[in-house]
Amino acid sequence: MCSLPPNSSANGPKARTLACIPVLSSGILSTRAAVTYTMAVALSCEGLWKIYEMGDEKVQAVRGIDLEIISGEMVAIMGPSGCGKTTLLNILSGIDDPSAGQVMVAGKPLFGISDDERTDLRGKEMGFIFQKFHLLDVMNARENVEIPLLLLGLNPDEARTKSMLALEKVGLGDRSEHRPAELSGGQQQRVSIARAIVHNPSVILCDEPTGNLDSGTSEQVMDLLSDLNDAGSTLVIVTHDTEIAKRCSRVIKIFDGRITVEEE
Ligand SMILES: Nc1ncnc2c1ncn2[C@@H]1O[C@H](COP(=O)(O)OP(=O)(O)OP(=O)(O)O)[C@@H](O)[C@H]1O
Ligand SMILES: [Mg+2]
């Protein structure tokens, strides 16, 4: 029998179908009804190119990438330095524009729409975790986690409650009033994970989430990412860390701007 990722939905806007032969309780294969399960695509891209032009020089950082991430997957993107991983993730995130191609998030296009529409789509459907955490120094942990909710228009009380719940989820309920400078690197990364999950996004995109952490702290962050995935979150993780890759359901290898290998 095929298994579905935990939060697959038959009602996803765009869906990939997978035919499975159900096994009856007797263990006999049912030949009558081949059930078609539908798997929601959380994030996809088609024909993605990114060419940086610097004077006469052109750098083809991403060269025709097609990708489909199913809801509930945890996918690692790996490859040597300079092969285009961050460029790809930034385009999948809507941080950077592609030179060609399209990205679909929860069935909606990320490009060819207005800036406001893109901000709205990113704010609702995506969470981000970066190597350098990108927390605001002047705000405490709770206020940092509230930011995506306030941008979505939640009132301050709701934002505060949800932010505290997210901080408790990452084990930092007792550090909510501390500013980033008063937290360790691992704790800062956990705040950024809380900020990435607080609005319950369709997909969480991570660029080297353990890149600035020692090995013990990296393991805590990896445990947290695995727990999120076990609870149904979809994760796309750019990493050099083979320990992260081992925990992923799929590893996509990139070389010179192209996908070379996809391993389950
Ligand atoms: N803003 C930019 N302008 C011009 N070239 C760029 C720009 N950003 C990245 N590049 C080039 O695009 C290529 C891909 O860079 P990218 O940062 O995506 O690599 P990466 O796989 O993330 O590397 P690393 O593992 O070192 O983080 C590199 O040749 C890089 O020099
Ligand atoms: Mg990079």
Which of left, alpha, beta for 254 (phi over 0: left; psi -120 to 50: alpha)?
A: beta
**pTM, rounded to two decimals:** 0.85
Cβ neighbours around 261 below 10 Å, total: 11
pLDDT at 264: 75
Q: Are 49 and 100 in contact (CB under 8 A)?
A: yes
Q: In this structure, which residue's CA is closest to atom 16 in ligand 1?
A: 84
pLDDT at 49: 98
What's 73's DSSP letter? -
Question: In the structure encoding, which two tokens stand for residue 221, read together?
Answer: 């962050």
Residues in the chain predicted with pLDDT less than 70, given as ranges, are 1-38
Residues with CB under 5 A from ligand 2 (ion): 86
- Ligand 1 centroid distance, CA of 49 (Å): 13
Per-domain boundaries in the chain: 15-263
What digits encode the pLDDT tens for the residues 221-256?
899 999 999 988 999 999 999 999 999 999 999 999
Is residue 228 classed exposed, middle or buried when 0-12, 13-18 and 19+ CB atoms within 10 A define those classes? buried
Q: Check if CATH label 3.40.640.10 holds for domain 15-263.
A: no
Q: Are 6 and 231 in contact (CB under 8 A)?
A: yes
Q: What is the chain's length?
A: 264
Q: Are 239 and 245 in contact (CB under 8 A)?
A: yes
**Ligand 1, from 86, 97, 99: best to mutate by most atoms within 8 Å of Cβ?**
86
pLDDT at 6: 42
pLDDT at 263: 77
pLDDT at 37: 53
- By percentage, how much of the chain surpasses pLDDT 90? 75
Report the nearest atom of ligand 1 relative to the CA of 89: 18
The residues that bridge with 49 in the sheet, in sequence order, are: 63, 100
Report the nearest atom of ligand 1 relative to the CA of 90: 18
Torsion of CA 192, 194, 200, 206, to 10 degrees: 30
Q: Are 233 and 205 in contact (CB under 8 A)?
A: no
Q: In this structure, which residue's CA is closest to atom 8 in ligand 1?
A: 87
- Ligand 2 centroid distance, CA of 36 (Å): 39
Cβ neighbours around 246 below 10 Å, total: 10
Q: Are 118 and 91 in contact (CB under 8 A)?
A: no
Q: Which residues line ligand 1 (CB under 6 A)?
A: 52, 54, 59, 61, 79, 81-87
Helix (H, G, I), strand (E, B) or coil at 199: coil
Report the nearest atom of ligand 1 relative to the CA of 254: 21
- Ligand 2 centroid distance, CA of 152 (Å): 29
